[in-house]
Chains A and B, each alone.
Chain A
Amino acid sequence: MAAETGTPTTLTLKSNDDELFSVAESAAILSVTIRNMVEDGCAGGVIPLDNVDGKTLASVITYMNGISAIPADEEKKKSYRDKFLSDKDFETLADMVLAANYLNMSCLMDAVSAKIAQVMEKKSVGWVRRKFGIENDYTPEEEAAVKEEHKWTFEGVETDDDN
């Protein structure tokens, strides 16, 4: 672990598109993946994060710095998370959920999952397939049958556009 005295230790993180980021160790170890690397003594040079691109990593680091500056007050942390995620579009959220999973950051993972779920809530099935790149593997007959089981849940759904 970091030395207890002197200036705070800074880590250098490298995204999979070779961008470098400096971040305080105290903030970076919110990621269990990074913390394990630090504890194993791999943090001397640059920490490569092979599954995260630069744009997403920049966002995650903003979050790490923001949340670790807040004292242990769960309500305040929650409102920071809500605010942090409020202006993110769906693609960014999807990238972040993958990053949070890879970096093993449960608090970010939970918040992003909840945000994605909230965005999805009123969306059509077609929208969900398109945004997640999921292929419809039902035959038309099967799909109609599954839809028929709960047809009342298709009322009040947003029209099938890209928003």
Chain B
Amino acid sequence: MSDIPSELFRKILLRVPADSLLRFSTVCKAWRAIIGDASFIRSHATNQSSSTTLVIANSTGTRLFSLSPDSLDYNNDAHQVIDVMPLRTLYRTCVPRLPALPVASCNGLMLLSHYDVDKIWAVFNPVMQDFHEVSEFDHDSRLIGTGLGYCSASDDYKVVRIDEILRHGKIVYRTCIYSLRSGFWKVINDCPSDFPWLSPGVYLNGALYWRSWDFVIALDLKTENYDKLPLPPDLGKPFETRVDALGGCLILSCYYMMNRIDGWMMKDCEWVKLFTFGEGYGSGTRWNLRPVAYFKSKGQVFLLHDSGFFMLDIERNLAKNVTIDGLPEFFSCQFFPGSILPLDESYAVEVKSSAGTKRKRKKKTANKSFLRVL
């Protein structure tokens, strides 16, 4: 079977999850060359069909676990509880402490951002255990929004921060973008609104989205312009809403009294009702429902609540409890597609050769200083 040409191996390896890819570098020299190739790494990271895992962090953010969504499958109606595979300890990580999930993330990179002024921001790839320290910023402001996204036109990852500041006696929402390629911050147009709470932006197809008061704010990472998306009409009076990027779709969740949650999906620039859930489930206490995954081909939504998970079959409007073995008592989680994007010196080398400009890069020593302040 060694007659499989390397182009076919490349196609297969593009579908292999990130941590397995790193392991398969040891198969042979040809595979190491395929896996280490910059265009392969880029295609793998931006390929939405590459497998995602549920990443679960314990309450102190010192341990990460991963769970394959395949193990969440169920078809048997007789059972109300699904036991999934025990959690796999993931990335015995070099990060002493992660913030609670979800964090802003894009193509296997996480943004570790902090409200506190004395903590350094970093972009983190948990699979590669690489950091890119984001250069410091003047902190005379109030942080209201963060984000991490990818611009394919410039093949660049961009960190976004939105701060409420006073300019000429007026409150404005200043937006700054940090380019991982250039290593610099720049100020772009002000954000047209503030947000109900400090929110990580949601990345989907070249844009970042935040839930604002009466609309969803979108930031196109190529043009760096803002747009306002109206909410669905006749929403009633949800007491809370949120946006998520799930299953390649923008999902708006609206929370109502009596534990009801409505999910809307953005389809062809219009909101389409995806699911209604909650009435008849749970006991009247609020259980902090949050959709964490949408399995489009199966028509299922995976929801997190206070003490566990529900899997909702949309068509039948039927939900089941999902029990996960070995779950920490307190945890946070998010679905996360792994990537093997390098962030350390090798990224800097690529930056240098492709951009052709000389710039100051922080090397491994910077990582250490980041670890110290965490």
Contacts and interface: CB of A to CB of B under 8 A. Distances in A.
A and B from one complex? yes
Interface of A: 75, 78-79, 82, 91, 94, 97-98, 101, 109, 113-114, 116-118, 120-122, 125, 128-129, 131-138, 143, 146-147, 149-150, 152-157
A116 B12 contact: yes
Interface string B1-41: 11111001101111111011011111111111000000000
Contacts of A153: 19-20, 22-23, 127
9 contacts: A94-B1, A98-B8, A116-B15, A120-B16, A132-B2, A133-B1, A137-B30, A150-B23, A155-B88
Contacts of B13: 117
A156 B1 contact: no
B184 to A, nearest CB: 30
Given A122-B20, A146-B26, A78 B2 contact: no
Contacts of B92: 152, 155
Contacts of B28: 129, 134-138
Given A117-B12, A136-B28, A152-B91, 6 more contacts: A75-B296, A98-B3, A101-B8, A109-B11, A147-B26, A153-B127
B4 A132 contact: yes
- Tier of interface size on chain B: 35 or more
Interface of B: 1-5, 8-9, 11-17, 19-20, 22-32, 49, 51, 68, 70, 88-89, 91-92, 127, 129, 296-297
A117 B16 contact: yes
A66 to B, nearest CB: 17
A44 B8 CA distance: 32
B1 A132 contact: yes
Contact of A121 (B8, B25, B51): B51
B14 A79 contact: no
A25 to B, nearest CB: 27
A149 B25 CA distance: 10
Contacts of B88: 155-156
A154 B2 contact: no
Contacts of B15: 113-114, 116-118
A78 B14 contact: no
Q: Which 7 pairs of residues, A with B, have the shortest CB-CB distance?
A: A117-B15, A133-B2, A150-B22, A153-B23, A153-B22, A117-B16, A133-B1
A17 to B, nearest CB: 16
A82 B121 CA distance: 42
A150 B3 CA distance: 28
A131 B12 CA distance: 14
A135 B29 CA distance: 10
Contacts of A91: 1
Given A128-B24, A146-B26, A146-B32, A135 B12 contact: no
A116 B92 CA distance: 27
Q: Which of B1, B32, B51 has the most CB of A within 10 A?
A: B1
Contacts of B31: 134
B2 A152 contact: no
Contacts of A131: 1
